[in-house]
Amino acid sequence: MEREAKARLENSRSNEELCSITELESWHTLPLAEVFARLHADDMHGLTQAEALRRLAQHGPNVLAQARQRSTLSILRAQFHSLIVALLIAATAIAFAMGDEMEAVAILVVIVLNAGIGFFTEWKAEQALSALQEQSVRVAHVIRDGTERQIPAAELAPGDLVVLAAGARVPADGRIVESVRLQIEEAALTGESHAVTKSSEALTDQEAALGDRCNMAFLGTTITDGRGRLLVTATGAQTEVGKIGVLIDDATTRATPLEQKLARLGRLLIVVVLALCAVIVVAGWLRGVTDFWHMLEIGLSLAIAAVPEGLPAVTTMTLALGMQRMARMRALIRRLPAVETLGSVTVICTDKTGTLTKNEMTACVYALDNRRIDVTGAGYEPVGVFRVADESVDQRTDENLALALRIGMLCNDAKVERTDGRDVVLGDPTEAALIVVAEKAGMKQADLAADFPRISELPFNGATKRMVTVHRGPQSRTLAFVKGAPATLLAASVAQVGRSGITSLKPDDNRRWQERNQELAGAALRVLGLAYRELPEGYEKEDFDRELVFVGLVGMSDPLREEAKSAIATCRSAGIRTVMITGDQQPTAAEIARQLDIDRDLNGRPLRAVHGRELTALDDAGWQRAVADAAVFARVSPEHKLQIVEALQEQGHVVAMTGDGVNDAPALKQADIGIAMGIKGTEVAKENADMVITDDNFASIVGAVEQGRIIYGNILRFLHYLLSCNLSEILTVFLALMIGWPLPLVALQILWLNLITDVFPAFALALEPSSPNVMQRLPRDQHESLLTFHFVRLIAWQASLLAAATLLAFGVGMHWYGTDGDGLRQATTMAFMTLAIAQVVHVFNARSQRRSAFTGRLFTNSWLWAAVGICLMLQAAAVYLPLLQDVLHTSVPSRSDWWVIALCSLLPVAVVELVKLVQRVAARSRGISHA
């Protein structure tokens, strides 16, 4: 018992000490040994999992305070902050003033129901967006219990040992304990735009500014080069970023261009509708239809009915549901504007490796001296044999092959772990392929690393296109192993390895190697050159780039994704051009483009493959010609990617650009849609992208474009439906007054129509599935107004048709029953039911502006049929339930009334179908296909 009590006391003291230590401001001045001691951390094995969980519970998750979500109360309160509600309240006051308490109460019920529907819609949209945000989880590579693992960054605790690599963001504040050319860009925190070179040495300046603490790294900053390790000293709110409250995500608070268009449309409609209703009120009063106050109540009801107050809420929910649907299809939308822009994309600039191909690299051929050595086996299973023609090669006695395999395995940062029968690749698949092929020859990575310990390195650089590692070899030799683009290695080589040993590299030899490189690349293989150099004492960094000994070439295959070709064909039919931008060699990229049918434009004109060197020093006119005539850009730099995007945009294209590296961020940001890869993409690329493809698959990009088109089409569908229905109500009353008839609808009937026929069908249209040829149309002009002339004309004549059918039923009712007392009530009921049912049925017209409603797709939207069923039942209740009869001033229609109501309600559908048929016949005669 005493021992347990003592342990608890020591543990308590350790906790108190750790709490005070993590608030220390001078970590940068302490020797590394003291830093580890104060944090009770292990420099080799990191924390144990149990200790990490204990510290996580003690210090809380490693997260920053996020922008607060709208509370339920604030969403509810917002439903009453609109002009629509003010109009309803005014109508309620007028009803009370006129002594019509039942009507006033009914309008209050409308207010509550309207607010409830708006609240539910916005609350669902908020939940959808919140759920979407939670899918974007940042990760950290940490060493625990002596093994490297990937965990959510939120689970980091003080004392964790974190592995840092180029392209990632620093997941917490901490002290640098290992640095290999580690550079971190800290502009988000310090404002300094240049990357800071980091070291592990203690500083002497106690008051050093954050930007001068070169042995510290801070949460949210960007690793631009090199690698290293970080000992976490602060997490969450205790970090420097947490203290000043930066990097708060405000993505959900920004209005999208589409939402801005809809808001402007809403304000315009309110002004126009109020003006029209004012004219109706004055005209009806002057004509003596009824007294002024009753006419004012009718006018307010029309104004309320005509303005589609549910439009912003339905739009937000449509976007949010569409984003969730995209997320299920492996396309994570990070910014709402991307949904709108997706439907306008005209060019997709895509990487090759992992996007059009599977990124399952397999080293399948070596070109050494004058031999071609083929390697059997595929994937990451270390099983295969080496052959020259039909003869096996003994890799244990073939010195040249052994040297090539050794270079590939040692000049390498990847790992291949095999657990539970699964091959897990940590790092670049190309490097993993070099490890696997060496394992096929019996080599072990751990044994080689022990025999040739690494003492320094130069990570792969996009400019030099090579990677260098320096090792201590036998007899205290210092060897530099190099792999990279064959052309750059040959340019830096002065000798070569042959069957007879090392010989000088003559121009003819160089040309022969270049031809072999072209031969392998032309077979759609990714080709790397292998070289080495024995370094002199006191060597400099510049020695890595000269006097190399060229060993040979290794060719790697990466099979095409099965769905890539069909996805590109879909793009072609959708009027979207595909451009491949890759760091691979020109022949390899050209062959892949040929296999995927990318090597021609939308009109079938052949396009060429452009090498990056052709892009150097191009003027504006040269860039315009290059992007117009090329389908493939090979061996390009990140700067070229940015210039390609800019040149395409200058030609009026809406560009989607894929990227995965740190240097891809400018191009991703410049593109209209930046698309980061979820698997191989760096955190920097993801942060600068509008969309993240979680499976790195080109087909997922095409699927997202299709969903973007569907979402925008659905917004136009329910806009078409809402505006035509609401305008029909105004026209019905206005035309009746102009004819000199009594009012065909009473105020509460108008409000009922607004509540019932607007809401449920509009929501159902927002869930409309794709039309059959949505990807067979040309991209939409993103600058096009929502209310084009054609769209306004369509809404106007269909609204007039609905109003005419209603007035026809009303006229028949007045002819049958007269215009006084119960007779007018019966005629009004016929008009009310006709307009209600006609609007409900009109939802089928709104599904497509050209396609007939009566096709095989009639039953594809179950939500639509449910909405129609609900509306029809509620309309039946409006004339058969005594309570609703009293509130809505309706009566039970006779059998002959129902025949008139049915015929007049279906008349608009028949006329619209006839017009669509004429348009389709005319379009077919001109060779045009319409949805």
* Least confident span in 388-392, 683-687, 818-822, 905-909: 683-687
Residues of the chain within CATH 3.40.1110.10 domain(s) are 362-557
CATH of domain 331-356+561-696: 3.40.50.1000
Residues in the chain: 931
The domain made up of 262-326+705-925 has a fold known as Calcium-transporting ATPase, transmembrane domain (1.20.1110)
Phi/psi of residue 572, nearest 5 degrees: -60, -45
Residues in Cβ contact with 646 at an 8 Å cutoff, skipping those fewer than 6 apart: 623, 670
Q: Which of 98-112, 333-347, 370-384, 734-748 has the highest mean pLDDT?
A: 370-384
Alpha carbon 170 to its chain's center: 23
What is the rounded CA–CA span in Å between residue 421 and residue 407? Answer: 28
Instruction: Give mean pLDDT, residues 108-132.
Output: 62
β pairing state of 526-534 and 548-557? antiparallel
What is the rounded CA–CA span in Å between residue 304 and residue 239? Answer: 52
Answer whether residue 910 shows pLDDT above 90. Answer: yes
pLDDT band at 405; cut points 50, 70, 90: very high
Q: Rounding to the nearest 10 degrees, give the CA dihedral for residues 910, 913, 918, 923.
A: 180
Superfamily assignment of 362-557 in CATH?
Calcium-transporting ATPase, cytoplasmic domain N (3.40.1110.10)
Q: pTM of the full predicted structure?
A: 0.67
Handedness of CA 227, 231, 232, 233 (dihedral sign): negative
Residues of the chain within CATH 1.20.1110.10 domain(s) are 262-326+705-925
Answer whether residue 835 shows pLDDT above 90. Answer: yes
Residues of the chain within CATH 3.40.50.1000 domain(s) are 331-356+561-696
CB 318 within 8 A of CB 121: no
461-488 in b/e form (b: 16+ CB < 10 A) is: eeeebbbbbbbeeeeeebbbbbbbbbbb
Query: When comparing pLDDT for 565 and 305, which is higher?
Result: 565
What is the rounded CA–CA span in Å between residue 747 and residue 512? Answer: 90
What is the rounded CA–CA span in Å between residue 330 and residue 707? Answer: 12
Cite the active site residues. Answer: 351
- Amino acid 335: pLDDT: 67
Q: Which of 711, 710, 729, 723 is nearest to 791 (CA)?
A: 723
Residue 560, both tokens:
């095409």
pLDDT band at 899; cut points 50, 70, 90: very high
* Least confident span in 98-102, 236-240, 625-629, 690-694: 98-102
What is the rounded CA–CA span in Å between residue 875 and residue 868? Answer: 11
The SS3 of residue 601 is coil
Per-residue DSSP letters for 534-575? Answer: EPPTT--GGGGGSSEEEEEEEEEE-PBPTTHHHHHHHHHHTT
Read off the pLDDT of residues 149-206 as tens digits, 9 standing for 90 and up.
Answer: 889 888 999 999 999 988 788 889 999 999 887 888 776 566 555 678 888 888 888 8
pLDDT band at 470; cut points 50, 70, 90: very high
Highest CATH level, class, for 2-60+141-252: mainly beta
- Amino acid 391: pLDDT: 85
Read off the pLDDT of residues 780-802 as tens digits, 9 standing for 90 and up.
Answer: 877 777 778 888 899 999 999 99
Residue 931, both tokens:
């949805």
What's the burial of 427, exposed, middle or buried (CB within 10 Å: 0-12/13-18/19+)?
A: middle
